[in-house]
Structure formats: C-alpha cells, structure tokens
Amino acid sequence: MQLTDNKERTSLIKWISVADRYIKIQLDRELKQYQLSSSTYYYLLRLQERPGITQEGLIDLMYLNRSNVTRSINQLVDLGIVRKEIVQSDRRVSKLYLTDRGEELCPIIAQIRADAIDRVAEDAGEHLDEFATAIKSVAMGTVDREQKFDERELNNKNDK
C-alpha cells in the first residue's frame, strides 16, 4: 500500500488500531482459561526473566503507566500467580516474584504468545522484517514524544 494520498495516510492509525484490537481479542480468548488477559500475561513473562524486579522497574521496562502496572500486579497477586516481597530497607518498595503457579503458567503463556506472533508473521508475509522495524520505530517515537510531553507538564507544574 502506497501512502501517497491523504486518505491512505489517515487510515494508517485505523489499521494499527484494528490489528491491535483483534490480536488482543484472540489473546484474551486463549488466556481466559488461565484467568489472564492480553493486558496481564506479559507481566508473567517479564517476571520470569527478571525475578525480584520492582514495580518501578516494570514501569520502565514495559512503557506502561504506574496505575496500570499497579492494577495488573494486584490482580496477579490476588490470583496467586505473583507474590510481593517488601524491601526491608524501604518498606514502600516491593520486589515481585512468580509463585509456583506463575512459573507453571509461563511455558503455556509463552506458547500462546508464540502462536500469536506466528499469526502476525503469516499475515505480514514477506514484509515481516520491514514491518517489525517500522512498528518498533513508530512505538519508540510515540513513547519518546509522550515522555517529553510528560516532562514539560511536570516542569510547568513545578514552575507555578
């Protein structure tokens, strides 16, 4: 698809949103039996890679806002999938670990994610590498602009 005319350019965000929404619908369907969703499964895989990471560390790693991370982690704690361990030197900070149940779910979740990636790869076809590079560039540019906006807002607030 050539994005030379304005109509094609304006549909770009629409198609990104459609893909995102339907990938999440498919993931939600597959994860439901494990009481997980497209917005919570990823935490398990990150905690398996980085046992003992703090919520602040997850926020930095995953480009999510604090309230979403807090809500998701609390859900996973309530489900017995994640446990929090309070840091004695700073009781406001908790390290996060998978429980045995969380560890058992990781290979299943990793396979569900791999299957989703395979479907996206199949849809992208011969353009997969190009698509992956472009979507990462779009994501990082968007994150960078938003972080700069947040910094300006914070500075404006502090100046008042």
**pTM of the model as a whole:** 0.78
Q: For the chain, which domains are there?
A: 14-159 (1.10.10.10)
What percentage of residues in the chain have a pLDDT greater than 70?
A: 94
Cα atoms in the 13 Å half-sphere on the side-chain side of 105:
27
Residue showing tokens 């361990």: 85
Picking from 137, 44, 123, 138, the residue whose alpha carbon sits closest to that of residue 82 is 44
Retrieve residue 49's tokens. 């890679």
**Which tens digits make up the pLDDT trace of 95-114?**
999 999 999 999 999 999 99
Question: Which 3 state secondary structure label does DSSP give 117?
Answer: helix
What's the pLDDT score for residue 5?
66
Band (pLDDT 50/70/90 cuts) for residue 160 is low
Residue 118 has pLDDT above 90, yes or no: yes
